[in-house]
Structure 1
Amino acid sequence: MALNVPGLIAVAVFYSIILATGIWASRKSKQEERRTTGSGTEAALIAGRNINLFVGIFTMTATWVGGGYILGTAAAVYNPTKGLVWALMPIDYILNFVLAGVFFAKPMRAKKYVTMMDPFQLKYGSTLSCVFLIPALIGDVLWVACIMASLGGTMSVILDLSAVYSICISAAVAILYTLLGGMFSVAYTDVIQLVFIFFSLWLCVPFLMLNPASTDITVTAFNGTLQAPWVGTVEPGNVGLWIDDILVLSLGGLAYQAMHQRILSAASSRDAQVICFAAAGFSSVMGIPSVLIGAVAASTDWNMTSYGSPSPYDRGEAGKILPIALQYLTPPAISIMGIGAVAAAVMSSMDSALLSSASLFTNNIYKTLIRKQASDREVQWVIKATVLVVGLAGMGLAFLGNSVLAFWVVSTDLLYTVILPQLVCVLFFPVSNGYGAAAGFTLGTLLRLLIGEPLLRLPPAIRFPDCRLIDGVYVQHFPCRTFIMLVSLCIIVSVSYVVSLLFDKGLLPKRWDVLQVKTHEAPNDSSDKKGNAGDECPAPSDRLLETNC
């Protein structure tokens, strides 16, 4: 197979459009900086809290509709051992955004936080909060690596372009426009990317479904002839694992800085809620083409195509089924549009991870622990340096392939099992304090490591009910990650209550209160003139040790 020159040109044109949009948005960022009396940091990280509602909906949706979403959904539907019932992301994202809009958008935006970790610093202090940053920062770097690796594999199928070149070029473009315009560049390029994803994938669907090598997917949905029905089933023994996967995907996203960054960029609390609710609908619609592509692939006789036999599943290429289907079941021009959609999806997720990690490091580590007196200009340079370092680190790790995927799975599990209960407690449980938070973090992390990880070939030290040996590796079928999350939540609340009681009753001397329970307390809500609770509160940087607005 020779290098696909027309496809390469088409991708180059698309990247040029994205880069031009990012450069244009960087000028808007500078205008916003001047409008907000020179606050370039807020303009870079949260767009001066002035993101247009339309743009906010698009950038929130694009952050979740990434390469993993598009490729993973198609792969799950195609996989004969899984099927549609295991393609959970479209449904999970609806739940994720609805929960974010109902419970998290208003309290986060109303307090004018800059990052998800600001309430932790207000309540627990900077040192302890920085410990909670570690899983989030590691997760962002590994997220960049995973999505870049998926792009490299996709381009190698359709363009016959080495993964090294595609990863390096794509990373350079995403890093450049994120450096130039921060949140404004990320948000406005997300609009272009999401529109391109939608139209490109839907353009491919009719050609796939009308291909003579494919059987009508309505026939193969429940009565597969070439392989198992693509709707799939959940065996009774796998119900626990299925429930666990649903909860990890739908609730775990609530602990991602990338989502809260868009909430905090909204012009008001009400806009933040609207953005979440609208993204719930849009993200589910964006998953339909991937479901159809996976269903068509499961209904295709590959012997009737130039791909030949054995099938992609038998060759171990089920994870690449979307680009394979585009390459062998659509005309060349259409497959090029499809690869553009994947590239757009990957870049929309990558720039979000870059800015997310830059926000956490700059606002919650550099400004609070390393250089408390740093000027606004200095902080802006740190943001740029962090974006560059994370981008290059992720790009380098992308060449490790499955090894990175395994570590990313563990890091995302830590966000669900450890950071999510911490966020819930700091926002909704006034009794929580640093002692409970430290105990919950330590126990949750330990338990997650002790249950093992099949992708790392790490055997479980703790075997929950229905732990099975599959292909030489023990796999937990009990919803153990959700169990750990609930244990962490209970530990945080119970330890916090007991320690507070001991100090209040004088059973422990005040000099032993090394975490200063009575110093770091969350601020109370207040209402602004518009009726959006807390929109008139000063920014967290101005009140890290205050008790209310």
Structure 2
Amino acid sequence: MVSLFISLYLLLTILIGFWAAKRVKNSEDYMIAGKNLPAFIVGVTIFSTWFGSEMIMGVPGYFVQEGAQALIIDAGGGTLCLLIVAFFFVRPIYRLNILTVNDFFKMRYGKRVETITSLILILSYFSWVASQLLALAYIFESLYNWPVNMGVVVAAGIVVLYTYVGGMWAVSLTDLIQAVVMVLGLGYILFVLNQQTEGLLKVISDQKEGFFNLFPESGFINWTNHLYLWMIFGFGSIVSQEIYQRVLAAKSEKKARNGVFIGAFFMFFVGIVPSLIGLLIYTIHPELIESNDGQNLLPAMVTEYFSIPVQIIFLGALISAILSTSSGAVLAPATVFAENLIKSNRTNLTDQQLLLTTRISVILMALISGGYTYFNDSIHSLVVNSVTLITVSMTFPFILGIYWSKSSVSGAWFGIIGGATVWFGALLWGTAIEPTLWGVVASLICMVSGSLLLPDNSHLKFLKETNNGHSRSHKG
């Protein structure tokens, strides 16, 4: 019964994707929904893209074992990142009339920087998508008794099918439906578990001292590593294509900004719900924490101890979260690949050829991501790995490129190469301070030093291009 309803839900998702395909007339429709999304859908689709398997299957187990600090990376860092983007980056990026964040790097620093940042960004998404496909494979294993490898293939096929035909329109519409299913489903599970225990407030008050302490133990190393937890998403995802793809899909600058604020609201208040559910589950059945290193805490509880209707509701919410994340995470690098690596080097590419190239890129991104699951079976580590390289190489060239007029092309190269090199060296050395922190500091120092030592007029060229209305638009 459960598997039948879930199968029907998956079929519905695919059909919505095909229905959304009717709106796709050109590559701009496919990549950024023709710049027609209202603020609420912008916010919901941002939230849905980030509220994936990690939040439901990864974080709750860590939260039960480690306390509130387990919430920092995802719910805390994700919310922080969206607030930073809304306050500081929506306005300047939206006004450029571009399709990808790498279009900004091209306008600000030139074609070669566009190419290297595109490769870095695409590479970062493979782990992110892989974590979602792996989570779906675990669900298919419990539902249909399929091997995990087979589940990954089927999961990739479903995501590719509706993303391929409908692009951002399909992603946005399915995200909206999936977000409703997620919120209602998780809310209902929380309500049911609250009735089966002494209540959430009582369970919270019974936790050991320090469980809800967000601050680390004293000591420089502890504080720097604590900072790293906030930085993983809070700082490292500022350059994420999936955010700006939705920002650029908004009807107006104001709707784009409001949409990111809405996404931040949902990210925080809905983001902590799975962990609270996990705490209630652990109170009733602490033995379930051993299930798959805690990654299966919620699914194991629901499938073993709840009625079929509740199982359907929960699995619908879980699959919704994963599908929405997967589709957005596949479309983002596919768009960058087609726009910044293919079209940028083939200026005679027609719009219909670009549209087809982007669709084929969706398949390619899913295939490579599926291959990643064979090398890592941890959802949590896959998610963390996905943002590291962007954080240490692209973040400061992006930020300073917008807000520091002295940023030069040489400085950008110094920042990209210096940050990545120091991070990799610290990783091999096994430093006590997180290697990512070394990489971020090195990127900033190299970026500033390179710009001061080798100045240029790239900022003036950038301003001239944007002020004269020569910002690259797809239709042009």
TM-score, normalising length: structure 2: 0.91
**Partner residue in 2 for 1:17:** 12
Q: Deviations over 1:343-387 (max 9, x none)?
A: 111111111111111111111111112x12111111111111100
Distance change >3 Å, CA 543–CA 168, structure 1 → 2: closer
- Structure 2 residue corresponding to 1:204, chosen from 189, 207, 232: 189
Q: What is the letter of the counterpart of residue 20 of structure 1?
A: L
Residue 231 (structure 2) pairs with residue 247 (structure 1): yes
The alignment partner of 1:187 has SS state of helix
Residue 49 of structure 2 contacts residue 324 of structure 2 at CA under 8 Å; is this kept in 1? Answer: yes
Kindly state the Cα deviation for residue 101 of structure 1 after the two structures are TM-superposed: 0.8
Distance change >3 Å, CA 400–CA 495, structure 1 → 2: closer
Q: Deviations over 1:403-457 (max 9, x none)?
A: 78656634411111211111112211221122111111111111111222xxxxx
- My pick for the range that moved more, 166-175 or 265-274, is 166-175
Kindly state the Cα deviation for residue 276 of structure 1 after the two structures are TM-superposed: 0.7
Q: What is the letter of the counterpart of residue 239 of structure 2?
A: A
Distance change >3 Å, CA 495–CA 331, structure 1 → 2: same
- Structure 2 residue corresponding to 1:481, chosen from 404, 413, 436: 436
The size of the alignment, in residue pairs, is 472
Residue 119 of structure 1 contacts residue 426 of structure 1 at CA under 8 Å; is this kept in 2? Answer: no
Residue 288 of structure 2 contacts residue 301 of structure 2 at CA under 8 Å; is this kept in 1? Answer: no
Residue 315 (structure 2) pairs with residue 339 (structure 1): yes
Question: After the TM superposition, which residues 178-327 of structure 1 pair with which residues of structure 2 at under 5 Å, given as runs?
Answer: 178-211=163-196, 216-224=199-207, 231=212, 234-236=216-218, 238-302=222-286, 311-314=287-290, 317-327=293-303
**Partner residue in 1 for 2:79:** 94
Kindly state the Cα deviation for residue 149 of structure 1 after the two structures are TM-superposed: 0.6
Distance change >3 Å, CA 342–CA 21, structure 1 → 2: same
Distance change >3 Å, CA 383–CA 301, structure 1 → 2: closer
User: What value does the CA root-mean-square deviation take over the aligned residues?
Assistant: 2.7
Kindly state the Cα deviation for residue 28 of structure 1 after the two structures are TM-superposed: 1.8
Kindly state the Cα deviation for residue 274 of structure 1 after the two structures are TM-superposed: 0.7
Distance change >3 Å, CA 100–CA 338, structure 1 → 2: same
Distance change >3 Å, CA 447–CA 406, structure 1 → 2: farther
TM-score, normalising length: structure 1: 0.80
Residue 450 (structure 2) pairs with residue 450 (structure 1): no
Kindly state the Cα deviation for residue 249 of structure 1 after the two structures are TM-superposed: 1.8
Residue 397 (structure 2) pairs with residue 413 (structure 1): no
**2: CA distance, partners of 1:411 / 1:288:** 21
Kindly state the Cα deviation for residue 110 of structure 1 after the two structures are TM-superposed: 0.7
Q: What is the letter of the counterpart of residue 426 of structure 2?
A: I
**1: CA distance, partners of 2:202 / 2:378:** 38
Distance change >3 Å, CA 339–CA 418, structure 1 → 2: same
Question: After the TM superposition, which residues 460-499 of structure 1 pair with which residues of structure 2 at under 5 Å, given as runs?
Answer: 460-461=428-429, 463=431, 467=432, 478=433, 480-499=435-454
Q: Deviations over 1:51-84 (max 9, x none)?
A: 23332222122111112222233222222xx112
**Partner residue in 2 for 1:27:** 22
- Structure 1 residue corresponding to 2:53, chosen from 34, 44, 67: 67
**1: CA distance, partners of 2:97 / 2:312:** 43
- Structure 2 residue corresponding to 1:146, chosen from 131, 139, 146: 131
Kindly state the Cα deviation for residue 281 of structure 1 after the two structures are TM-superposed: 0.8
**Partner residue in 2 for 1:385:** 360
Residue 71 of structure 2 contacts residue 272 of structure 2 at CA under 8 Å; is this kept in 1? Answer: no
Residue 207 of structure 1 contacts residue 329 of structure 1 at CA under 8 Å; is this kept in 2? Answer: no
**1: CA distance, partners of 2:69 / 2:474:** 48
Residue 139 of structure 1 contacts residue 412 of structure 1 at CA under 8 Å; is this kept in 2? Answer: yes
Kindly state the Cα deviation for residue 258 of structure 1 after the two structures are TM-superposed: 0.5
Gaps of 5+ in 2: none
Distance change >3 Å, CA 181–CA 520, structure 1 → 2: farther
**1: CA distance, partners of 2:306 / 2:417:** 51
**2: CA distance, partners of 1:388 / 1:281:** 32
Kindly state the Cα deviation for residue 400 of structure 1 after the two structures are TM-superposed: 3.4
Q: What is the letter of the counterpart of residue 6 of structure 2?
A: V
Distance change >3 Å, CA 164–CA 422, structure 1 → 2: same
**1: CA distance, partners of 2:252 / 2:464:** 18
Kindly state the Cα deviation for residue 267 of structure 1 after the two structures are TM-superposed: 1.4
Distance change >3 Å, CA 118–CA 537, structure 1 → 2: same
**1: CA distance, partners of 2:451 / 2:2:** 58
Distance change >3 Å, CA 437–CA 54, structure 1 → 2: same
Kindly state the Cα deviation for residue 229 of structure 1 after the two structures are TM-superposed: 7.8
Residue 222 of structure 1 contacts residue 230 of structure 1 at CA under 8 Å; is this kept in 2? Answer: no
**Partner residue in 2 for 1:430:** 405
**2: CA distance, partners of 1:18 / 1:543:** 30
Gaps of 5+ in 1: 1-5, 31-39, 303-310, 453-459, 468-477, 504-516, 527-533, 545-549
The alignment partner of 1:113 has SS state of coil
- Work out which of the two has the higher radius of gyration on C-alpha atoms and give 1 or 2: 1
The alignment partner of 1:112 has SS state of coil
Kindly state the Cα deviation for residue 331 of structure 1 after the two structures are TM-superposed: 2.0
Distance change >3 Å, CA 161–CA 232, structure 1 → 2: farther
**2: CA distance, partners of 1:325 / 1:154:** 13
Kindly state the Cα deviation for residue 329 of structure 1 after the two structures are TM-superposed: 3.7
Residue 463 (structure 2) pairs with residue 523 (structure 1): yes
Residue 347 (structure 2) pairs with residue 372 (structure 1): yes
**2: CA distance, partners of 1:405 / 1:319:** 9
**Partner residue in 2 for 1:171:** 156
Kindly state the Cα deviation for residue 114 of structure 1 after the two structures are TM-superposed: 1.0
Kindly state the Cα deviation for residue 217 of structure 1 after the two structures are TM-superposed: 4.5
Q: What is the letter of the counterpart of residue 73 of structure 1?
A: V
Q: What is the letter of the counterpart of residue 39 of structure 2?
A: L
**Partner residue in 2 for 1:328:** 304
Residue 220 of structure 1 contacts residue 229 of structure 1 at CA under 8 Å; is this kept in 2? Answer: no
Q: Deviations over 1:93-137 (max 9, x none)?
A: 222111111111010001101100112111222123211222210
Q: What is the letter of the counterpart of residue 472 of structure 2?
A: P
Higher relative contact order (CA 8 A, sep 6+): 2
Q: What is the letter of the counterpart of residue 272 of structure 1?
A: A
Residue 43 (structure 2) pairs with residue 57 (structure 1): yes
Kindly state the Cα deviation for residue 188 of structure 1 after the two structures are TM-superposed: 0.8
Residue 93 of structure 1 contacts residue 280 of structure 1 at CA under 8 Å; is this kept in 2? Answer: yes
Higher helix share: 2
Q: What is the letter of the counterpart of residue 499 of structure 1?
A: L
Kindly state the Cα deviation for residue 340 of structure 1 after the two structures are TM-superposed: 1.6
Kindly state the Cα deviation for residue 184 of structure 1 after the two structures are TM-superposed: 0.8
Distance change >3 Å, CA 519–CA 242, structure 1 → 2: closer
**2: CA distance, partners of 1:360 / 1:394:** 16
